[in-house]
Chains A and B, each alone.
Chain A
């Protein structure tokens, strides 16, 4: 695959991959395209000639920009996945979701308390959860989404933090939820509450910050700065390793 103007891909030193010969037919927003059978959905969309604007961010499964819904032949189910990490299948009918309508309460973390009433106030719709587990089934990260929503309802912030830790805010759970809950924002608030209020304090961190403020390291810094490159080099290669 070539890159735009300046970055005409020169052959790398190591041998490049040969294009696979096997192809699959996929329907991108309804239009049929032949694409490499082992392509990711994102690779297939680009192979077909689309220049993605919305629908790609990190391209490695971290940002959640590439939420995709699809169906497979002879199967009544709607599937959800990340375009950057899901492989195409023969006959797949797919569409990316360019954006997910978001709803996020505005808050000041400094004024919140880490308890259930905070969730009651900011996410009253949480209590509409019917425990249908659709969110969990939709999650491309295989998170226990329903369980973290239930934990939020109980005010178990640590549990919400733990279960939602790897959430990408891709929005696929929210778009499928019959109770119209925006799960990822619930998870995010729980993580922030946990980090700020519930996680145990590090004494050493406080101590070190004080030491820096009291200019404990000034002298060493000044000495380093005065050193000639050779001197600094010597010091570097002689330093002891933990």
Chain B
């Protein structure tokens, strides 16, 4: 329930609603979309990426000298968890065709397709299979299926949304494979939202020129992810799953080819080695780094591990200077601060409103633009609504959706959202939600080509961990598509690679070299990565955690 202090503003939302409804119904734009110049201006002034200390030059490695997001530079300029000399690489603990790092959407899609192309795989994953950002997507997946749409339209939307920085071949792969992915998933048993006649239900998303958002109510990710997981689990002789066993370093061979990785058992604290003729990094994003102190929508294991292990092995990163903040993270009640409120809400007609109950931005600008406009409205124009704990936000008028789409629409299309709020006494069919940008997506990542290859032979990357597909700003619905398109591609090309690949002597020399580079660059840090899990232990508890001699968990 909203407190008294927020009531006066809520009243204004109600007062303006009928007028806004009339305009929305008329089919005219409810607010003028921004021009290129206006977009640039609001980004420059208000996007967190454009703050002076948001980026820092990295002093070593393949991207040496480049400005990356400060927290990413911090993470990359760090020590390994392991001492290379303690590992006997002549006797690996596991051997397989393909090592897949990460049991999210990209990892599972890759394993399924690799299997169909004759390759066996091991999926190493940090938490349980499917404990991943892929499980959480609500809004949906873009694919140019409708008659009025075309893959070329989709291409233009994606590349414009990404500020024309995207790698064209990757955008082509993304958009051209789209329709086939819809079919592939349906054949695996995904239940798409459909109309009576069997045609797929589509909605708009931010930055789309055509309706092409496909969904499974607002459990899109959960339905797709569980379907992929079930398929994986039905093939235990071809795909082995190692849960709570993240990879903490890659292994190379003496020719610089990727040859597997080092596993860490989170529970027993043992390390194991995996030898593989091809390796696919599918570790997802980095929301749990809490860049610039922002809350995040991401799952517990989203700590950017893939970037670290790839970087130490010499892989090049792309666009790691840009961070995606989702415009509509929730800010009230406190317990769900940062949780995602799907963009589909705006796709279905929900509107962002200021303290006066007025629209101040076109509801479906690309995400970075929309987020910046929200921040501006709160911090510069002082038109935000304050919560009792001091957070600021703008309204997201959901009751309007019921007026536009018909009563019952929210319960049918947004059960997860409805559930999220009704627990706290807020019925989103009757009252709006309060929102503010939340750290959401890693726009860049390890640079790949359309075969998911990196500059290291035998190393493939797919999904959120990769860079280039979305330029510097991803559009909604393009990353669910991304992990399917490029997960499948990684599966195909890695499987092909294993047919002819030979490996020399296995080595962890690159870890030693990186350590030397740290010294040479005079980096002083205690940080050990990959980070694996964030810690939310309060300061006063931490002050008492003063074991003098750490002997591991077993003694």
Cross-interface CB contact of A15 among B136, B217, B223, B390, cutoff 8 Å? B390
CB–CB B190/A65 < 8 A: no
CB-based nearest B residue for A162? B191
CA distance A19 to B283 in the complex (A): 33
Q: What chain A residues lie within 8 Å of B389 (beta carbons)?
A: 17-18, 20
Which of B71-79, B345-353, B502-510 is the interface stretch? B71-79
CB distance from A55 to the nearest CB of B (A): 10
CB–CB B35/A12 < 8 A: no
- Map CB proximity to B onto A1-37 as digits: 1 under 8 Å, 0 otherwise: 1111111011111111110100000000000000000
- Map CB proximity to A onto B217-238 as digits: 1 under 8 Å, 0 otherwise: 1010111001100110110100
Residue of B130, B179, B227 contacting most chain A CB atoms (<10 Å): B179
CB–CB A60/B340 < 8 A: yes
Q: Does B289 contact A (CB under 8 A)?
A: yes
CB–CB A192/B227 < 8 A: yes
Q: What chain B residues lie within 8 Å of A104 (beta carbons)?
A: 233
Which of A105-113, A129-137, A147-155 is the interface stretch? A105-113
CB-based nearest B residue for A11? B293
CB–CB B155/A221 < 8 A: yes
Q: Does A201 contact B (CB under 8 A)?
A: yes
CA distance A107 to B156 in the complex (A): 41
CB–CB B227/A195 < 8 A: yes
- Map CB proximity to B onto A111-132 as digits: 1 under 8 Å, 0 otherwise: 0000000000000000000000
Which of A46-54, A68-76, A172-180 is the interface stretch? A46-54
Q: What chain A residues lie within 8 Å of B35 (beta carbons)?
A: 237
Q: What chain B residues lie within 8 Å of A54 (beta carbons)?
A: 127, 244
Q: Does A61 contact B (CB under 8 A)?
A: yes
| A6-B527, A7-B290, A106-B234 given; A13·B48 CB < 8 A | yes
Cross-interface CB contact of B267 among A13, A53, A65, cutoff 8 Å? A53
| A63-B136, A193-B189 given; A188·B536 CB < 8 A | no
CB-based nearest A residue for B333? A38
Which of B12-20, B145-153, B458-466, B479-487 is the interface stretch? B145-153
- Map CB proximity to A onto B405-432 as digits: 1 under 8 Å, 0 otherwise: 0000000000110011001000000000
CB–CB A242/B211 < 8 A: yes
CB–CB A10/B292 < 8 A: yes
CB distance from B230 to the nearest CB of A (A): 6
Q: What chain A residues lie within 8 Å of B378 (beta carbons)?
A: 14
CB–CB B145/A1 < 8 A: no
CA distance A193 to B415 in the complex (A): 22
Residue of A11, A204, A237 contacting most chain B CB atoms (<10 Å): A204
Cross-interface CB contact of B209 among A47, A49, A242, cutoff 8 Å? A242
The tally of residues in A whose CB lies under 8 Å from a CB in B reads 88
- Map CB proximity to A onto B284-308 as digits: 1 under 8 Å, 0 otherwise: 0000111111100101110000000
CB-based nearest B residue for A87? B335
| A6-B75, A204-B145 given; A57·B190 CB < 8 A | no
CB distance from A203 to the nearest CB of B (A): 7
State which residues 180-231 of A face B: CB under 8 Å.
188-189, 191-196, 199-206, 208-209, 212, 217, 220-221, 224-225, 229
Cross-interface CB contact of B290 among A3, A60, A188, cutoff 8 Å? A3
CB–CB B209/A240 < 8 A: yes
Q: Does B529 contact A (CB under 8 A)?
A: yes
CA distance A18 to B538 in the complex (A): 14
Q: Does B339 contact A (CB under 8 A)?
A: yes
Q: What chain A residues lie within 8 Å of B297 (beta carbons)?
A: 60
Which of B1-9, B197-205, B511-519 is the interface stretch? B197-205
CB-based nearest A residue for B226? A188
CA distance A188 to B531 in the complex (A): 33
| A5-B528, A204-B199 given; A57·B131 CB < 8 A | yes
| A59-B299, A87-B335, A205-B179 given; A196·B188 CB < 8 A | yes
Q: What chain A residues lie within 8 Å of B231 (beta carbons)?
A: 109
State which residues 145-199 of B face A: CB under 8 Å.
145-153, 155-157, 159-160, 164, 168-169, 172, 176, 179-180, 182-183, 186-192, 194, 196-199
State which residues 42-100 of B face A: CB under 8 Å.
48, 71, 74-75, 78
Q: What chain B residues lie within 8 Å of A3 (beta carbons)?
A: 288-290, 534-536
CB–CB A58/B293 < 8 A: no
Q: Does B135 contact A (CB under 8 A)?
A: yes
Q: Does B403 contact A (CB under 8 A)?
A: no
Q: Does A62 contact B (CB under 8 A)?
A: yes
CB–CB A205/B191 < 8 A: no
Cross-interface CB contact of B534 among A7, A108, A109, cutoff 8 Å? A7
CB-based nearest B residue for A221? B172
CA distance A228 to B387 in the complex (A): 47
Q: Does A95 contact B (CB under 8 A)?
A: no
Q: What chain B residues lie within 8 Å of A9 (beta carbons)?
A: 290, 293
Cross-interface CB contact of A166 among B150, B392, B415, B527, cutoff 8 Å? B415
CB–CB B539/A2 < 8 A: yes
CB distance from B395 to the nearest CB of A (A): 16
Cross-interface CB contact of B289 among A6, A59, A142, A192, cutoff 8 Å? A6
Q: Does A146 contact B (CB under 8 A)?
A: no
Q: Does A39 contact B (CB under 8 A)?
A: yes
Q: What chain A residues lie within 8 Å of B420 (beta carbons)?
A: 60-61, 85
Q: What chain B residues lie within 8 Å of A97 (beta carbons)?
A: none
Cross-interface CB contact of B535 among A4, A48, A108, A212, cutoff 8 Å? A4
CB distance from A163 to the nearest CB of B (A): 12
- Map CB proximity to A onto B520-555 as digits: 1 under 8 Å, 0 otherwise: 000000111101011111110110010000000000
Lowest 9 CB-CB distances: which A-B pairs, in order?
Answer: A192-B189, A200-B198, A57-B131, A236-B160, A17-B389, A49-B541, A12-B293, A220-B152, A4-B535
Name 5 interchain pairs, CB-CB below 8 A, sorted by A. Answer: A2-B542, A16-B390, A189-B230, A199-B191, A239-B209
Besides the known contacts A85-B420, A142-B419, A239-B209, 6 further A-B residue pairs in the complex with CB atoms under 8 A apart: A39-B335, A63-B136, A106-B233, A189-B230, A204-B199, A217-B151
